[in-house]
Amino acid sequence: MTNKILLSLMLSFGALFAQQMDKNIEINNAYIRQMPPMMKMTAAFMDIKNTTDHDMVIVDVSSKIAKNTETHISFMNNNGNMQMKHMPEVILPKHSTTHFKKGAKHIMLMGLTTKLNKGDKHTISITFKDGTKIQHTFTVKKF
Amino acid sequence: MLRKRLTLIITFSLLVIGVFLITQPNKSNVKANKYAQDDHSFILNSKNGQITNDTFKGKAVVLFFGYMNCPDICPTALTDINNAMKDLTSDEKKNTQVVFVSVDPKRDTVGLLDEYVKYFNDSFIGATSSVKYLRKLTRKFYADFSYHEDKNSAAGYSVAHTGRIYILNKQGKLVNTLGSNQVIISDITKAIKEVL
């Protein structure tokens, strides 16, 4: 009986926390780029808003549709060339929106395990430094 | 006497201004002249065989250096170029050739390149060559590329490359370039129309 009460309390607490986390982080315009069919990698983009009064740090991203998922950034290097590199951590400043967009930060999905059709919806999980994790639905777009 | 001197000064000044204006280069040709003396010939391998400037003589050529494992800049550029072509007339489309040149021949075979570019537009051509030749070719276009390993990433190596769109005229001469990042689609259309 005690175990059941404890379990119920834990589940309720977990649900409340998840709900709070959803309010702390708002994600909009989340989409995955559709690539030529034989390509096994692509990029995902989003506007991610940190509504809290402290910086949040993304330390991991994952998805069932890819063997490897990472945060990357495209940038112009010192030679004036466009380059891309892995960003193991992405800081989301407090009270602001960070744009994962073309020519800038993006989520790289590598080793795709499924074909991406326009309009398909897939979940990407985002883990933060404090251990919290959220999941968000991204839509496949051809653009 | 004073009046005569003033008249002489004014006449001489007008003459100097006139000569100056006549000898100024036509601004519309300045951009073309900037590249016109350079050699932008190319010999590349595509799925359908070797392609050179002569292959597309009489057509505008839109050229971009990139690689297939690029999830961001390259597909964005090819999408933008395709969208720019939608505003061309059907004759203009027939007389425009887009060539995507891969600077990653290790991974991008001509067969895969052909399949890759056809996703964006059936008329696009994918081509590549040896790294040695690509180094010479990109230098001709004031471009370059480099490979970057990241042992902490599953991406393997990435390729840094000049992200510009190159417009060659019907004679195969480079006449214009546009930055591909945040490019305005209508600027690409305009640049193509200018050479047709």
Residues of chain B with C-beta less than 8 angstroms from the C-beta of A42: 71
pLDDT at residue B27 tops 80: no
Residue B120 pLDDT > 50: yes
Residue of B nearest to A71 (CA): B153
Cα(B65)–Cα(B160) distance, integer angstroms: 10
- Mutation target among B72, B100, B102 for the A interface, most CBs of A within 10 A: B72
> Tens digits of per-residue pLDDT, A55-83?
999 999 999 999 999 999 999 999 889 99
Nearest to A143 among B79, B152, B180 (CB): B79
Residue B36: pLDDT band by 50, 70, 90 thresholds?
A: low
Residue B35: pLDDT band by 50, 70, 90 thresholds?
low
> Would you call A88 an interface residue with chain B, using a CB distance cutoff of 8 Å?
yes
Under an 8 A CB cutoff, do B155 and A36 touch?
Answer: no
* Nearest-by-Cβ selection for B115 from A38, A72, A102: A38
**Ranges of residues in chain A whose predicted pLDDT is under 50:** none
**Contact assignment for A103 to B154 by CB distance below 8 Å:** no
Q: How many CB atoms lie within 10 A of CB B40?
A: 19
pTM, to two decimals: 0.82
Q: Residues of chain B with pLDDT > 90: what percent?
A: 74
Encoded amino acid at A97, one letter = T
- The pLDDT value recorded for residue B11 is 72
Describe the crossing of helices B73-85 and B110-120 by its angle, rounded to 10 degrees.
50
Q: Give A73-99 as a DSSP string.
A: EEEE-TTS-EEEEE-S-EEE-TTEEEE
With cut-offs at 50, 70 and 90, classify the pLDDT of residue B62.
very high
Q: Residue B17 has what pLDDT?
A: 65
A127 within 8 A of A63, measured Cβ to Cβ: no
pLDDT at B127 over 60: yes
Closest by Cα among B113, B111, B104 to B155: B104
pLDDT at B9: 77
Query: Is some CB atom of chain A closer than 8 A to the CB atom of B79?
Result: yes
Closest by Cβ to B69, choosing from A41, A76, A86: A41
User: What pLDDT shows up at residue B28?
Assistant: 35
Give the one of A36, A43, A80 whose C-beta lies nearest to B162's C-beta: A80
ipTM of this model?
0.81
C-beta of residue A31 within 8 angstroms of C-beta of residue A54:
no
Q: Count contacts between A and B (CB, < 8 Å).
A: 90
pLDDT score, position B29: 37
Tell me, what's the pLDDT at B32? 42
Distances (CA, A) of B6 to B12, B13, B25, B76, B90: 10, 11, 31, 64, 61
Q: What is the mean pLDDT of chain B?
A: 88
pLDDT value, residue A15 = 54
pLDDT exceeds 70 at position B123: yes
* Minimal CA separation from A82 to chain B, in Å: 5
Arithmetic mean of pLDDT, B1-12: 78
